[in-house]
Amino acid sequence: MRTKLDACLHAVNQVLLGKEAQVRLALACLLARGHLLIEDLPGMGKTTLGHALAKVLGLGFQRIQFTSDLLPGDILGTSVFDKDSGQFIFHPGPVFAELVLADEINRATPKSQSALLEAMEEGQVTIEGATRPLPEPFFVIATQNPVSQGGTFALPESQLDRFLMRLSLGYPAKAAEKALLQGEARRELLPRLEPVFTHAELRAIQAEVPKVIARDALVDYVLRLVDATRTQPQFAWGLSPRASLALLSAARAWALLAGRDYVIPEDVQAVLPSVVGHRLRERADPAGHGGGALVQWLLREVPAL
């Protein structure tokens, strides 16, 4: 299984050049059964990453372009009257896919954004009084542009908390961008990607993530990190139990990708910025985006042992 994980990472890295750390985090997020938010400027490769992961993981894929006029029914589906049968027939929306790419999610209104809340939390949607299960596995990869750009609606905290991780791809290194300019268009490489995992293999490796050993000392380290956010004055609010569970789950997936069956403090530190950065705010600026500075404070001030 380790060989296939390495093959998966290698394949995606051939499409998204120079972003090995972000690709590894994205795969860890999916193995931990989480959902991923990618925030960056347009044209940085966010959509390409989603396409590439769907290809190598062998997952059914649907892309939803979020716009200001998007309605919840455009995401979830709707019932249409069939005159031949005399009944309403439900037509499922694009959310009924194994990997859903919610492209530029913050360009839709909060009403449309919230259509994904139940799907991301429960793996099901309730439409017209009927609950319908979503495929298994089910992953959401959402992209968003910086909130400073025009035409965006900031995601509320309740929606942000549904994402296990938030990543930023950033500008490529010069060598990677030179290879990008001299090579084929990245989108043209996507059809050549072959699935590395079968559905059964993917579910099997996901089932291994909770079995990765986290000893008492490691759990105590996670608890110290979480407690610092709840007791230190610079934090507007502390991390929730859901966030502490997310941190440990992501650390387990990171350890599994490293070929270990146990978690070490370095695993927690590797995933900490992506897992808690979007969940933290500074008390002096609760509406801002001070999560990055607060994460660095945690890494610096909270001892691992």
Parallel, antiparallel or unpaired: strands 124-127 and 77-82: unpaired
DSSP 8-state code for residue 133: E
Q: b/e string for 166-185 if b means 16 or more Cβ within 10 A?
A: bbbbeebeeeeeeebeeeee
290 and 241 in one domain?
A: yes
User: What are the helix and strand counts (H, E) for the chain?
Assistant: 14, 9
pLDDT of residue 287: 65
**Residues 55, 166 within the same domain:** yes
pLDDT of residue 183 exceeding 90? no
Same domain, 201 and 248: no
Residues of the domain holding 58:
1-208
Tens of pLDDT, residue by residue over 194-212, are 999 888 899 999 999 999 9
**How many other CB atoms are there within 10 angstroms of residue 269's CB atom?**
18
Tally of structural domains, the chain: 2
Question: What is the pLDDT of the chain when averaged over all its residues?
Answer: 89
* Same domain (yes/no): 55, 143: yes
**What's the CATH number where 242 sits?**
1.10.8.80
Q: Are residues 34 and 131 in the same domain?
A: yes
pLDDT at 205: 93
pLDDT given for residue 289 in this prediction: 67
What digits encode the pLDDT tens for the residues 270-299?
Answer: 999 999 999 998 988 766 666 788 999 999
Boundary of a domain, candidates 187, 208, 229 = 208
Give the end of a domain, one of 168, 192, 208.
Answer: 208
Same domain, 29 and 168: yes
| DSSP-derived 3-state class of residue 73 | helix
**Does residue 252 share a domain with residue 122?**
no
Q: How far apart are CA 140 and CA 123, in angstroms?
A: 11
Name which of 203, 114, 126, 123 is nearest 161 in CA terms.
114
3-class DSSP state of 110: helix
- 204 and 230 co-located in one domain: no
The reply to whether 171 and 63 lie within a common domain is yes
Contacts of 237 (CB under 8 A, 6+ apart): 229, 281, 286
Q: For residue 150, is pLDDT > 60?
A: no
pTM of the model: 0.90
**Are 263 and 116 found together in one domain?**
no
Q: Which of 160, 178, 208 is at the close of a domain?
A: 208
E-strand stretches of 66-162: 77-82, 87-92, 99-103, 124-127, 130-133, 139-144
Rounded mean pLDDT, 70-93: 85
Q: What is the CATH number of the domain that holds 89?
A: 3.40.50.300
Shared domain for 135 and 189, answered yes or no, is yes
Q: What is the pLDDT of residue 235?
A: 93
27 with 40, same domain: the answer is yes
